[in-house]
Amino acid sequence: MSLLEVENLVVEFQTASGPFRAVNGVSLKVNEGEVLAIVGESGSGKSVSMLAAMGLLPWTAKVTADKLQFNGIDLLGMSSSERRRIVGKDIAMIFQEPIASLNPCFTVGFQIEEVLRLHLGLDKAARRARAIELFELVGIPNPAERLSHFPHQMSGGQCQRVMIAIALSCNPKLLIADEPTTALDVTIQKQILDLLMRLQAEHGMGMIIITHNMGVVAETADRVIVQYKGRKIEEADVLSLFESPRSAYTRALLSALPDNATGDRLPTIAEFLTDDQIFAGAVR
Amino acid sequence: MTPVLEARDIVRDYHVPGSLLKRARIVHAVKGVSFAVDQGKTLAIVGESGCGKSTLARIVTMIDPATSGEMLIDGERVDIASDGLTPEMRRKVQIVFQNPYGTLNPRKKIGDILSEPLIINTSMKADERRDMAMAMLKKVGLEEKHYGRYPHMFSGGQRQRVAIARALMLNPRLLVLDEPVSALDLSVQAQVLNLLADLQDEFQLTYVFISHDLSVVRYIADDVMVMYYGEAVEYGSRDEVFSDPKHSYTKTLFAATPRADVDSIKARLARKAA
């Protein structure tokens, strides 16, 4: 059985000029122990579809799907309080801006212990012990001392480690990482990606990495979904996507990488593909 | 031929004032960096956040003075700390910043944004300024109808084109590009990089290109300088630096850059299966 199963997900926002479809009929599955990468440019609906699965979108968003199941449980039908028991515990998420996603008014220790109290109901001593254990796991030096620090006292890379520790605190079955390294330097990016992949392998978690960086996809994913303007354009395992991309859009995306530049000019997508041509190859 | 830009032993210190409980201290942001760029060439400066690359960009653009060291533009010594900045010098060097959403005044029309450098630095008449702005819009791949629009009506890539057009209005010799494509999507990034290459050919522009993205640097640079904690740890031609990095930090940087080629994916999958 798949961990997360989404069929025909549609997310609409009401705007002044009528409804806007941010996600248009996306289906996906993630199995236990599998790493799925969702790639796309800004506006491709890659973050919105995952926020919809987490139930984190504002009430203005209209979410419909034929199927939205986590571990065999229907997520759409449940009340928001039931859902909150799953979200943050069994499905955890890491966001792009580590410094912005931590609360600046509380110590990082308070923020990680809050999760442990709400979801696991541990007592004070057990929470502190577990928090120190988690900080060690994600490679934060002097964990006991670090617990009393505020986010602004830590670097971006350290804050992202705290976010990962919080996400992992309840041993989630599925971890969704939304551009986990975009705001970080390359050497720090390498450390964080290595850490995520190590933890994923050790815990056998299912994982979804949302990114626009083809290098990150190549370094992490088992399977890849390419999205464009809210639609799924291609789904393939990572090797065949890079070796023999089926859709014209993926080919264009790969050839726009400066790594693959042949000659003086980079091929650009708009120069030789229209929206219709891109969608013609779309898969469901 | 004299290089367009030559820097000798540039140092920049920042004084952090103390308080009742803290002692004043000095941050050495740039610790003695030297380089030279010839006309029509691109020097790329690579490094992580906090390595002093943007401080160096501000010094080269004559926004901040250097604490010590010499900077020569077209063989002429520049010292804005003692001599101030003349319109002639300002015309020679222009800068494009990273975030095109933050660098364009949202209350001004594109035409006014493009004309402003001319109003400040030249004595051109209004209709001349207008003609020049129109011509520049076309050069950077926009249209005349965009003249009267506001920045919020443009996409990120188009805004970066406007920022580049504004920098070119004074016909500069040297363009400092501070992470010009890192806020853009992959396909838009390719368009802007192509535009920069075309403009360089057309105007024989000299670029100082600041970036942390090695794949972009490899594509656009002639010379590469790697900075680490305010020092230039590696400086040489692109091929030298990429094929034979000398400093351990450069090697770390190369090793950390994710690779998007089939061979490295195969190697990773093999490691995972084992």
Q: pLDDT tens-digit profile of A71-126?
A: 989 988 888 888 888 888 899 999 888 888 899 999 999 999 999 999 999 999 99
Alpha carbon separation from A156 to A96, B84, B213, B256 (Å, rounded)? 11, 37, 18, 17
Closest-CA residue of chain A to B49:
A185
> Is the CB of B265 less than 8 angstroms away from the CB of A239?
yes
pLDDT in tens, A82-97: 888 888 889 999 988 8
Please state the domain extents for chain B. 5-273
On whether any CB of chain B is under 8 Å from the CB of A258, the answer is yes
What CATH number is given for B5-273 in this structure?
Answer: 3.40.50.300
Closest-CA residue of chain B to A252:
B187
Alpha carbon separation from B41 to A133, A223, B78 (Å, rounded)? 52, 41, 21
Q: Would you state the pLDDT for residue A150?
A: 94
If one counts the domains in chain A, the total is 1
Closest-CA residue of chain A to B185:
A41
How many Å apart are CA B257 and CA B248, to the nearest integer?
15
pLDDT in tens, A229-238: 899 999 999 9
- Which among B93, B96, B60 is positioned nearest to B179, based on CA atoms? B96
pLDDT band at A258 (very low <50, low <70, confident <90, very high): confident
Q: Would you state the pLDDT for residue B127?
A: 93
pLDDT in tens, A1-56: 789 999 999 999 988 888 899 999 999 999 999 999 999 888 888 889 999 988 88
On whether any CB of chain A is under 8 Å from the CB of B268, the answer is yes
Residue A74 domain-assigned (yes or no): no
Mapped onto helix, strand or coil, the DSSP state of residue B87 is helix
Beta-bridged to residue B78, according to DSSP, are B71
Whole-number average pLDDT of chain A: 88
Mean pLDDT of B113-136: 93
On whether any CB of chain A is under 8 Å from the CB of B127, the answer is no
pLDDT in tens, A174-186: 999 998 888 778 8
Rg (CA), chain A: 20
Q: Would you state the pLDDT for residue A282?
A: 62
Q: Would you state the pLDDT for residue A272?
A: 59
Residue A26 domain-assigned (yes or no): no
A271 has a pLDDT exceeding 60: no
pLDDT in tens, B247-258: 999 999 988 888
Residue A274 domain-assigned (yes or no): yes
On whether any CB of chain B is under 8 Å from the CB of A118, the answer is no
Q: Would you state the pLDDT for residue B60?
A: 93
Interface test mutation site (partner A, options B49, B186, B226, max chain A beta carbons within 10 A): B186
B272 has a pLDDT exceeding 90: no
Listed in sequence order, the residues at least 6 apart from A91 whose beta carbon sits closer than 8 Å to its beta carbon are A4, A53, A54, A70, A172, A173, A174, A175, A176
- Which among A145, A142, A184 is positioned nearest to A163, based on CA atoms? A184
On whether any CB of chain B is under 8 Å from the CB of A233, the answer is no
How many Å apart are CA A26 and CA A50, to the nearest integer?
11
Give the domain extent around A143.
33-54+80-280
Q: Would you state the pLDDT for residue B19?
A: 84
Q: List the alpha helices (DSSP H) in chain A.
A: 46-54, 80-86, 98-101, 108-115, 124-137, 143-146, 156-168, 186-203, 214-220, 238-243, 248-255, 269-272, 275-280
A93: CATH: 3.40.50.300
A284 has a pLDDT exceeding 90: no
On whether any CB of chain A is under 8 Å from the CB of B219, the answer is yes
